[in-house]
Structure formats: structure tokens, C-alpha cells
Amino acid sequence: MKRITTLFALFLSLAFSAGARDGFAIVVDPASYREAKAQIDAYAAAIEKQDGLKVYTVIDRWGVPDSLRAELYRLYIQKNEPIVGAVLVGDIPVAMLRDGQHMTSAFKMDQTKPRKESSIPSDRFYDDFKLAFKYLDKDDDAPYYYYSITSGGAQRTRPDIYSGRIRPTDAGGVSRYVKLRDFLTKATRVKLNPQSVDHLFYFSGHGYISDSKVARIDEKQVFMEHFPILDDGRDRIGYLDHTDYNPVKEHLMSELMRPDLDVAVLHHHGSPDMQYLNGTIRPYMVNEAKDYIMRNIRDHVYRAYKRGRNADSVKTALLKRFDLPESWAKDALSDSLAVVDSLYDAAADLYVDDFAFYGYRPNVPVVIIDACYCGSFHLDDCIADEYIFQPGGTVAVLANTVNSLQDKWSDRFIGLLDQGGCAGDMARYSTYLESTLIGDPTFRFAPEAGAVDIDHMIIAKKPAAWKKLLKKGTPEQQALAIEELHQLNAIGSDELLKLYKTSPYVVVRLQAMRSLADFADDNFVSLLKLASKDANELIQRFAIKYMGLSGDERLIPELIEVSIANNTSDRCTFDAGQSMQSFPNDKLLEEFERQFDSDAIQYIRKDSVKTLIRKAIVHNDRIAAELDTLLVPGANPKELKMAVRATRNVPIHHLMPRMVEFIRNGADEPTQILIIEALGWHPTSCQAASVASAMKEIASDPAYSAAVREEAAKTFKRLRAE
């Protein structure tokens, strides 16, 4: 039986004891308001009663993002009862953002591609007032408005208010207004009956962070820091891996339908209409292996046939290649078998149609979908929408509108949900253009003792309050205090390093590292050396990634040490290989030879292991070597473009001075813009200060075109972490 608490009354008395009252905006289109007025009014009343916020219902009579943004900004800066958050309900225009891929975690599509695909649907347009935009155009067939992110504003996201999206459509044959009324009724019911956090569940899908088991083992410890109430010796945290069942889909759905589950964190790959779970279902028995091979042969032959190729030739080639008998390709062109095979493959993943087909009704209130595209709310349907618009108990889903990085802090500040924050804060602190809260952003669990009014503290901007929380708060609150003090320029590099060295909490050490990265100084280098040996896999992994993003050659010994250790986790090993691409190859090899030849390094067949690792290091020089040959006059433009774009993922620090000189010495305008944009991806680089200085000069030099100066101004701000 779940516990229902009355701590909300205590929470409100703490939050507003000083006479402060904040506001919240419900932005809704006229048709949705007419169709769901009673439910919207009830939802607003519940927010006022439970959260103590003044609710403003804003009817979108403009239908233009700029006007809505201006109204939200007005409500944000007003003296009395300023808003701390907003929810966009119904058919609110979608801002499609361009020229800001550096504010995403992974999206790097060439913007010469069709604009619907190469733009980022993002509500940062509505909640981050420090960003500046230039209107470009709109679509006639969709409520999409295109904007360029300009140098007139910030070059990193940090929302001023939290936000959420409730955008039902008529997908599935159910009216959008029926969906809206039902969801608001559910959200209101949940809000009026707040429950405490009792149970958490997490899942790992195939191929995610290199299938690292160490990462998932360590993740459980962090969940108990997020929610200290879960660390009481009881069975409160569940875990399911894609290898546990074959297929795993029905087990995952059953877990998320549990009425006692409160939070679910789902790590997997995804698309707008699919959660990738098992991938190719692995055989374990001999007969399963035979069936697996036969299905694959049939699939290749059938697909070739459908594409107009000679099916017999394909079949013959496959049978010869794998030394298989003719009978194993029997009936390869059978339509009925193709259907059976298709159903078998479909069992490996979860589709939007599965919600109706299986009667899948998730009951877990809060879901984090750590996957690409599952939060594409701008489309007719997406996975995140299906979660909230079912009759179950899910009211808030944090998901991504475009592709998303695997190596990120996906559950950052999730613990605030019972310590004074709300679901909208998960998106606020995710800090990427693609992160979106689908559902009720005001949702929070019944607060535990020590909860504070986080959102009011954020808007008040008082360092003293955050310093107090840093000393006496929960691990989650301490980490948040570090973030806020850093944004207020009220905590220094020395103190951040000290916090990393002294804190027993993973979330505090992780936040100290993240904040110190903005300084990119000697203390940051010292922290990375320590963090590469941290007991927590996520901290170690981030440290290894930061090593590549720094490029400081003082980090080479630690990077090599991690690379040759035989107990390094799978994902850390992968990231070490990635980071080595950013260092001069000769210096890596010199350090490798020195360390590996030591008697302290013990391997069976040590010579063979040395050859394999050495080959990997040599191979990692490919991007640098290619770029080195192309930074010359007359280089192939297509090859140069590909090489420069590669440096957005893999910074080649020792070539950055040459890249700057190439801009200055006669590169054409498109190439200048290309290189300037790529240089701006790496504010933690050991070359960042010198590159920023060059960008400042170029931005103010009339010898360059207006477009080049604009890009240089943006890169300057990005490298200065503005």
C-alpha cells in the first residue's frame, strides 16, 4: 500500500513564510480551452491549492511563437507573483530551431537537408529568455516556425522558467480533445493525492553505453543519493536488462504497469514511434541458432527480391559464403513466412501501436526515456505522448525531440521531485535543446522532511541561501547549490576542487566536475586526474571524456593508464579510445611504451595485448592526420568539410592554431564559417582561450563578411561559456 502524506501543508508554509508567492502560466489555444475549460480550470485550482502558485491562464490568440514568448517574459519579469514555470497545452506553435546544434547533446545534421529534419523542435524558445532568435519562415502544412539562434543572446541553454508540453493529436482514432480532458483529469487527481517515493525501476536496452554492466551496478548507488528514502534496506529499486528475457518487451511493460512504482529510468535507443529493447534476439540453444540463421538468410533474400534484385543469385551467394545447405534457404520468398519473421522481429521492440494492441497502461507517474526521438511531440504521435495519454498513472515524461548523446547525466536532479523541485526542473537542468518534459511540469511527490521551495530560490538568486543548502542539504540539494552558486559566480575553482576531493556523494562530485569544466584551468586538470580513478563509473567515464575535450597533454599518463588497465569498464574503455583521438599520436605512443613495459602491467600473452592496444592508438590518429593534409589552399572542399565537421565530435587541439590561421589566410566564406562553427564546440579545450581571443578579433574586423563575423561572435561566447 502506497503512503499518502500531508507534508504538502508543511512544504507550503516553508515556501511562503516570507510572504513570497510565485506564479505559473497555462498557455492554451482557444479551441482546446473551449473543449476542456472545466478540466483546465480544475487543473489550475489544484496547482494553486497544492503548490501555492498564482495560475495565469493565457489564451493563445496570436498563434505566433514570438508573441507567446513575449507574454511569458512579461509574466516572468513582473514584480508581483512572477511565473516560475509554464505548460503549453494543445495546439501551441512549435519553434523549430536552427544554427544551434552546439546546444544539443548529439544532433549534428547538415542544415542543407530538408528543414523539417535538420531543425530542432524545442521549447527552449519559450523558457530560456537569454537566447536570441531571428525569424526565418513557417510551414504551411504544420504549426512549425523556424528560427535561427543568433549571437545577440546566450550560446548555451539555461532556462529561466521550467516548462512542459501537453500536445494531444487525433492519432489512434481518438479525438485530441478527449485525450486532453482525460489527461488533465488524471493530472489533477494525482496532484490532489500526492504520494511519496517508494519504488524506482531502471532498464537497459541493447547496445546502450557499450552494454556496460559496471555502469548499471554503480547507477543503483546514485539512485539512493537522489532519493535517500530508498536507502532503507528494503527492496525498493528494481532493474531489468535486455538480456534477462528473450524478448524482454512484455516484462518491461508489466513492470511499468505496477501501481506501486513511482519513477522509471529507461536507457535504450529509440525513434519517434519505437523504443528499441532487445535488438536482434540472441539464440541460446542449438535449434534457436539454426532458426536464427535461417531467418536471416530468408530476410536477406526476401528484401533483395522486393528491391528487384535477382533473389536466386543472392541466395546462392549467401549459402556459399556461410557454407550452408540449400534446405536452410527453403521458402525464402514465402510471403507468409515473411510475415512470421516480421512479427518475430517486432517482438524485440516496443512500438506506439503496442499500447493499444497489448492494452499497455503505464502506471508509473514519472518516466525518463534516455533515448533518441521518443519525445518528438511535434509529430502526430510519439512514444512519450503514448505514455501520458493512456488511462494509466503516468503524468510526466522527460524525453528528447531529436537524437541524444548516450554519455550524459540523464537523471540529473531527478531527486528534487521529493525535495522541493518539480518534474519541469528535470528538463530545466537537462540543459539541451532537445530535452522536453511531456505532461505536467508541476508534478512533484509528497516532499520529504527538509524540502525547500527550489523554484523560488532560483528566481530569488540569493547566494547566501544556496550556501546554506550546500552545507546542510541532501546530496541532491548540495549538487543543485553548486550549480546555482556557479551560475551566480559565487563559487570558485579552488572550492570546486575541494568539494570534489572531500564529498562522499557521487552527485556532488559529479556536479563539482561539471562546474569546474567551465573554468578549464589547472584545478580542472587536477580534478580529471583524480576522477579518472573515481570509484563511480559515471564520474570516471565523464572524466575520460573531458580529457579528450580538454586536450591538455598533462592528462596523457592518466588516459594511457585507464586504456591499458584490464579492469576498466566497457564504456570507459570505449571513451578512452575516443579521447585519445584528440591528442598527438607520438606522445600517446611514447607514454604507452613507458607504462606498458613496466613489470606492474601483467597480462597473459602480454606481447599480443601490447600489439593490439598499440594498433588501436595508431588507428586513432586518422581524423587528425586527415585534417592535417587538408588545411592547405586548394584542398578538396567536400573532403575538408567532412574533416572539419568531424572535429565537432573529436577536437584536434594541436591543430586548432592552424585552423585559425586557415580562416585568416584566404579561406572562402563558407569554409571560414564552417571552421569557426566547429571551433566553438569545445569551451573546455586547452586552446579555448587563444581561439576565443582570435574569434573576438574576427567578430569586430570589417575585412570579414557579416556572416563570418556573426559566427565568430557566437563562437566567442560559446568558448567563454556564455
Encode pLDDT of 233-247 as tens digits.
899 999 999 999 989
What is this structure's pTM? Answer: 0.93
Residues 143 and 26 in one domain: yes
The answer, yes or no, to whether residue 15 has pLDDT greater than 70, is no
Q: What are phi and psi of 487, to 5 degrees?
A: -65, -25
Euclidean distance between the first and final Cα of the chain, in Å?
Answer: 48
Separation of CA 316 from chain center: 45
The pLDDT confidence band at residue 708, using thresholds 50, 70 and 90, is very high
pLDDT of residue 549: 97
pLDDT of residue 55: 98
- Whether 179 and 389 have beta carbons less than 8 Å apart is answered as yes
Residue 217 lies in a domain: no
Q: Which of 346, 379, 397 is the last residue of a domain?
A: 346
pLDDT of residue 4: 41
- Whether 150 and 134 have beta carbons less than 8 Å apart is answered as yes
Residues 146 and 179 in one domain: yes
Give me 414's grid cell: 531527478
Residues 54 and 158 in one domain: yes
pLDDT of residue 11: 44
The pLDDT confidence band at residue 20, using thresholds 50, 70 and 90, is low
Residues 499 and 594 in one domain: yes
Give me 126's grid cell: 519559450
Q: Which of 313, 346, 379 is the last residue of a domain?
A: 346
Please state the rounded mean pLDDT for residues 412-431: 95
Give me 236's grid cell: 525498493
45-93: pLDDT as tens digits: 999 999 999 999 999 999 999 999 999 999 999 999 999 999 999 999 9
Share of the chain above pLDDT 70, in %: 97
Residues 634 and 599 in one domain: no
Domain region containing 17: 7-189
Residue 699 lies in a domain: yes
Residue 611 lies in a domain: yes
Residues 497 and 594 in one domain: yes
Residue 538 lies in a domain: yes
Residues 558 and 678 in one domain: no
Residue 155 lies in a domain: yes
Residue 185: Cβ within 10 Å count = 15
Residues 67 and 122 in one domain: yes
**What is the count of structural domains for the chain?**
4
CB-based burial, 643-677: b 16+ in 10 Å, e otherwise: bbebbbebbbbbbbeebbebbeeebeeebbbbbbb
Residues 568 and 662 in one domain: no
Give me 699's grid cell: 567578430
Please choose, from the candidates 493, 546, 494, 485, the residue with its C-alpha nearest in 3D space to the C-alpha of residue 688: 546
Query: Which SS3 state, helix, strand or coil, does residue 678 take?
Result: helix
The answer, yes or no, to whether residue 19 has pLDDT greater than 80, is no
Separation CA 179–CA 166 (nearest Å): 10
The answer, yes or no, to whether residue 8 has pLDDT greater than 80, is no
Residue 27 lies in a domain: yes
Least confident stretch, 3-17, 269-283, 396-410: 3-17
The answer, yes or no, to whether residue 548 has pLDDT greater than 80, is yes
Give me 331's grid cell: 521458402
CATH of the domain at 531: 1.25.10.10
Q: Which of 153, 169, 189 is the last residue of a domain?
A: 189
Q: What is the DSSP secondary structure assignment for residue 85, as one 8-state letter?
A: E
Residue 168 lies in a domain: yes
521-535: pLDDT as tens digits: 999 999 999 999 999
Residue 302: Cβ within 10 Å count = 22
Separation CA 164–CA 92 (nearest Å): 12
Which ranges constitute the DSSP H helices of 36-156? Answer: 37-51, 65-77, 115-118, 124-127
Give me 462's grid cell: 540569493
Burial class (CB in 10 A: 0-12, 13-18, 19+), 567: exposed
Residues 671 and 538 in one domain: no
Please state the rounded mean pLDDT for residues 593-608: 90
Separation CA 412–CA 435 (nearest Å): 12
Residue 31 lies in a domain: yes
Residues 74 and 19 in one domain: yes
Residue 36: Cβ within 10 Å count = 26
pLDDT of residue 121: 98
Instruction: Name the helix (H) or strand (E) containing 24.
Output: strand 23-28
The answer, yes or no, to whether residue 17 has pLDDT greater than 70, is no
- Whether 508 and 479 have beta carbons less than 8 Å apart is answered as yes
Task: State how beta strands 396-400 and 23-28 pair.
Answer: unpaired
Mean pLDDT over the full length of the chain: 93
CB-based burial, 19-31: b 16+ in 10 Å, e otherwise: eeebbbbbbbbee
Residues 666 and 615 in one domain: no
